[in-house]
Amino acid sequence: MNDVNELLKEKLTAENYSRLMALGNAKLHEFVADAIELAEPASVYVCTDSDEDRAYIRELAIKNGEEIALNSAGHTCHFDGYYDQARDKAKTKYLEASSSDLGESLNSVEKSAGVEEVRSLLKDSMAGREVLVLFFCLGPVDSEFSIPCVQITDSPYVAHSETILYRPGYEQFRKIGASGAFFRFLHSEGELENAVSKNIDNRRVYIDLEENIVYSVNTQYGGNTIGLKKLALRLAINKASGEGWLAEHMFVMGAHGPGGRVTYFAGAFPSACGKTSTSMIPGQTIIGDDIAYLRKINGQMRSVNVEKGIFGIIRDVNSTDDPVIYEALTSPCEVIFSNVLIGKDNKPNWLGMGAELPAEGINHSGKWRKGKTDADGNEITASHKNARYCLSIEDLKNMDPLMDDPDGVPVGGIIYGGRDSDTWVPVEQAFNWAEGIILKGASLESETTAATLGAEGVRTFNLMSNLDFLSIPLGRYIQNNLDFAEGVKNPPLVFSVNYFLKDEDGKYLNGMGDKLVWILWAELRVNGDAEGLDTPTGVIPKYEDLARLFKENLDADYTREDYVRQFTVRIPKNLAKLDRVEKIYKEKVADTPAILFETFAEVRKRLKEAAEKYGDNISPLDLTA
């Protein structure tokens, strides 16, 4: 310990040393000292929770060229390297100790070899630069949900992003004293060229579940470097599994029912399936759009938003479809845009913003003009399709007043949604918790789109929209979810939604705004204020309830024809889905809980019996007879 103190005294100024020592935590001090000795930064800045330190980080990001100040107060723009624009799944690996059992589905590397490799890449990687030591809290502070975190990075852009996205945690570290129960993140952007990471071939993101450490090097893109986001989600899933709670890739929002009642829903949707737009439905309130922790407190399931901001895809955000977010993005407040087009007027522009884009400007490829191509002859779009915005939920007009409540909010319903052209109806309630987890969550699929992922309509399995981030075997994860309702007096109802059902001509049967009605019907069901119709796979709405909700909330006439086309039970399609998903579990998930196969068999039986009685496609009007 004396060696650690001596090194810190030598490398830190008196003020920064005092700030670090005020946190009486030997494990923390050792982590900081090791990072300094390994990466050899020129200086160290220890950040507190003060506004002055936040301002210092913002100014440093501009000074170092990692962000550009835009013409609206608080707005900046960051550019990632041209080939550093997304999460690197192949180079994101778990450091697997010989005693662990992550399962074949998780990307891992033997721990000692992986640690040696990533530390060799981090060696002297911060030479000549200032390193920032920052403290955050996942979940509200002073809460049963709180997880303190320390982030060490030489990127002021990463640090700035995290100050927007996460609650400050320096004072939280004071309160935990000598406890070792915190997450650690070490990131270096590595050698830079034109202010972006140069050696992306040596990009690595390695995750140590035993030590709760994430190492990241030779990258700037947020998904690889903002440690407290999906990287911390992996640590949290492992921690939750051992402690009896859940860490989920879910939004949390408040649906406003009759008489001023608010019912809270958590929901998991794969990318491009309406997750953020559901959390931001007009007239409702948002707790968070991306990651949730769920705990059982006094016999009730409660949830918090892990974050306090949004790191969202900006493509197609416009004043018509996303009025609340669009207003924040075009108003003076703290926003980091990344990989958008900056025109001559020093304003951000992006694909689908609802306005004509400039013919030239600056983007992630440098100077840009319409028609520009890269070295491989590919057209470079004005704004990258994965361009992002980073802003605080506090700057959104629909922030729920309980967002920072240390007790979280009571969860009335769980929603699973995917992009499905021909099987799932727009909204359906599972008969019980177990069927909800198995038939809605663990059976979740989503279809790809031609614009972003190649061939259109290819179904991709993604249980609970969390497959990319699991740090425990799949079967154990499913069982954890099944067991989580034990001891809960009134478990949340579980729903599926599908905004992408199509007719035979390929036209969508749902309007973009219809999701409001599906959520409000779910709100009524949670509170026992709406009846439903039993189908072989769950409970669907009655026509009269939907017609009233459409008229009252969207001023739209909802016809019986609409109802029949949307809520027909497609027996062959549902049977085919069961076959597809069951095959995955039989062939790829060795530890699948037996109840999953038992449930599939029971639902398959119900579907076949319904087909014998009604035919292959069952009109919901027939179910009322």
Please report, for residues 546, 614, 617, 618, the alpha-carbon distance to residue 622 in angstroms, rounded to integers and kept in the order given. Answer: 17, 8, 11, 7
Listed in order, strand segments (DSSP E) in 317-372 are: 335-338, 341-342, 348-349, 360-363, 366-369
Residue 151 CA to residue 515 CA, distance in Å, equals: 38
Contact status, residue 302 vs residue 312, Cβ threshold 8 Å: no
Is 390 labeled as catalytic in the residue annotation? no
Instruction: Determine contact, residues 618/609, Cβ cutoff 8 Å.
Output: no
Cα–Cα distance measured from residue 438 to residue 619, given in angstroms and rounded to the nearest whole number:
25
Residue 173, amino acid: F
Backbone angles phi, psi at 320, to 5 degrees: -85, -50
**Pick from 303, 272, 46, 54: which is nearest to 152 by CA?**
46
Q: Active-site residue among 47, 137, 149, 273?
A: 273
Q: How far apart are CA 569 and CA 613, in angstroms?
A: 13
Rounded to whole angstroms, how far apart are CA atoms 517 and 520? 5
Output the CA torsion sign for 8, 9, 10, 13.
positive
Distance of alpha carbon 474 from alpha carbon 463, whole angstroms: 9
Distance, in Å, from the CA atom of 579 to the CA atom of 587, rounded to the nearest integer, reads 12
- DSSP letters of 286-309? EEESS-EEEEEETTEEEEEES-SE
Pairing type for strands 262-268 and 251-256 reads: antiparallel
Q: Which of 574, 553, 565, 617 is nearest to 424 (CA)?
A: 574
Q: Which of the residues are catalytic?
A: 273
